[in-house]
Amino acid sequence: MATSSGWTPIHNQFHKTLLHRNLLPKNKRLLVAVSGGQDSLCLIKLLIDLQSKWGWNLAIIHCDHRWRTDSEANANYVQFLANTWDITYYQKTADVICKTEADARKWRYEVLGEIAINHNFNYVVTGHTASDRAETLLYNLIRGSGSDGLGSLPWQRPLFETGDIKGESPIPNPLLVRPLLEITRSQTLAFCQEQNLTIWEDSTNKDLHYNRNRIRAEIIPLLRQFNPQVEINISQTAELLKDEIDYLEKTAQEWRNKVLFVPVTDTENQPEKTWGINRHLLREAPLAIQRRVMRQILIEILPIRPNFEHIEKMINLLRAPNRSQTDPFPGGAIAQVENPWIWIKREN
């Protein structure tokens, strides 16, 4: 495999993005997810070429889902690349083949976290592009997702949710970083071709049984007829939404602190926890904030992620007659109005 090392416009764009957004500070340990496809090859090559300027310690991680007959050969190819570039290589092969994309993603992120934490990597870096961001927004829009789903794929986030960290390390929670979100898939392809990087084609990306593949193969090309820059524009919309979502979440948290009674446990009479929401006070907040407050509370109470219907049940109680109550939520919790409070009770 021959490679070119010339400084290209993408090198320049990538370097400026890192400086502007402070995504990958100097002298950090970076664990880079490499599948062998064009996006991850573009990412690792850019990081290698800029390594002398930034002083990173790079390592490659490859996750073999065993979905394809060539998955072992794919893993061997990525290991060959790591050896060629003299980069530390980690590989995980699935013991059980995941049945869904969601299960595969969950397993993959668990693997990334396990390797990162156990080997003291500050950052886990993935090759998500502006195209991925646009496709994710469209996918979530079609599913009926709220604004949180439309503002998906941020530049960086903690790898694990609080309390979901595995392994032992002085690094409590590595950051997941996506530094290619201003670069499209067509640009990563052109870069790999220019750099003479051999791309390992993933046959599952052409399987139109997967909704994301249909968006990529059918919807995005159609939208490009209206605007050739549609992927970049949708990606920028996702970024704007993410910033606004962060502001709304922070504001909702402030309101939640004002209106919520801390849960108490009645161990003598019945095994239940009770949340009290001052509905008269919460009515003073804008509706968007009311919904977010209710959503934040329900996330802690319900065994599943609250949906629009669950949140609206709570919103309706803000102005419902005294003694009104909801039917049981998933898990058995019930919300009841006792002026000026909405009480939420659930069994442990």
pLDDT tens digit string along 223-243?
999 999 999 999 999 999 999
Q: What is the CATH number of the domain that holds 96?
A: 3.40.50.620
CA–centroid distance for 348 within its chain: 30
Q: Which residues of 233-251 are buried (b: 16+ CB within 10 A; e: fewer)?
A: ebbbebbebbeebeebeeb
Q: Binning pLDDT at 50, 70 and 90, where does residue 309 land?
A: very high
Q: Binning pLDDT at 50, 70 and 90, where does residue 45 land?
A: very high
- Cis amide leading into 154 (omega within 30): no
104 closest CA partner among 150, 64, 70: 64
Say if residue 126 is in the same domain as residue 66.
yes
Mean pLDDT of 127-153: 89
Mean pLDDT of 69-94: 94
* 317 belongs to a structural domain: yes
Q: Does the pLDDT of residue 1 top 80, yes or no?
A: no
Say if residue 90 is in the same domain as residue 170.
yes
For residues 89 and 79, the answer to whether their CB atoms sit within 8 Å is yes
* 237 belongs to a structural domain: no
Q: Does the pLDDT of residue 266 top 60, yes or no?
A: no
For residues 111 and 98, the answer to whether their CB atoms sit within 8 Å is no
Q: Does the pLDDT of residue 166 top 60, yes or no?
A: no
Say if residue 201 is in the same domain as residue 265.
no
Q: Does the pLDDT of residue 163 top 50, yes or no?
A: no
Which of 209-213, 214-218, 277-281 comes out lowest in average pLDDT? 209-213
Q: Binning pLDDT at 50, 70 and 90, where does residue 173 land?
A: confident
Percent of the chain, pLDDT > 90?
72
Say if residue 23 is in the same domain as residue 61.
yes
Say if residue 314 is in the same domain as residue 278.
yes
Mean pLDDT of 15-35: 96
Say if residue 74 is in the same domain as residue 204.
yes
Quote the tokens at residue 101. 């994309």
127 closest CA partner among 66, 216, 83, 189: 189
Q: Cα–Cα distance between 27 and 50 in angstroms, integer?
A: 12
pLDDT of residue 272: 59
pLDDT of residue 169: 45
pLDDT of residue 210: 79
pLDDT of residue 224: 95
Say if residue 28 is in the same domain as residue 151.
yes
CA 215, 220, 221, 223 torsion-angle sign:
positive
For residues 218 and 139, the answer to whether their CB atoms sit within 8 Å is no
* 230 belongs to a structural domain: no
Mean pLDDT of 118-131: 96
Q: Does the pLDDT of residue 4 top 50, yes or no?
A: yes
The chain-wide mean pLDDT, for the chain, equals: 89
Q: What is the CATH number of the domain that holds 281?
A: 1.20.59.20
pLDDT of residue 172: 67
Picking from 172, 191, 225, the residue at the C-terminal end of a domain is 225
User: Containing H/E element for 334?
Assistant: strand 334-338
Say if residue 199 is in the same domain as residue 257.
no
Q: Binning pLDDT at 50, 70 and 90, where does residue 310 land?
A: very high
Q: Cα–Cα distance between 27 and 296 in angstroms, integer?
A: 37
pLDDT of residue 348: 54
Say if residue 82 is in the same domain as residue 143.
yes
* 2 belongs to a structural domain: no
Domain count, the chain: 2
Q: Domain range holding 326?
A: 250-347
Q: Does the pLDDT of residue 29 top 60, yes or no?
A: yes
Say if residue 203 is in the same domain as residue 283.
no
pLDDT of residue 268: 53
Q: Does the pLDDT of residue 296 top 80, yes or no?
A: yes
* 239 belongs to a structural domain: no
Q: Binning pLDDT at 50, 70 and 90, where does residue 264 land?
A: low
The CA-based angle 64-67-69, given to 5 degrees, is 95
Say if residue 159 is in the same domain as residue 269.
no
Q: Binning pLDDT at 50, 70 and 90, where does residue 212 land?
A: confident
**Phi, psi values for residue 214, rounded to 5°:** -65, -40
For residues 204 and 210, the answer to whether their CB atoms sit within 8 Å is yes
Mean pLDDT of 38-61: 97
* 236 belongs to a structural domain: no
Say if residue 196 is in the same domain as residue 254.
no
DSSP assigned state of 162: T
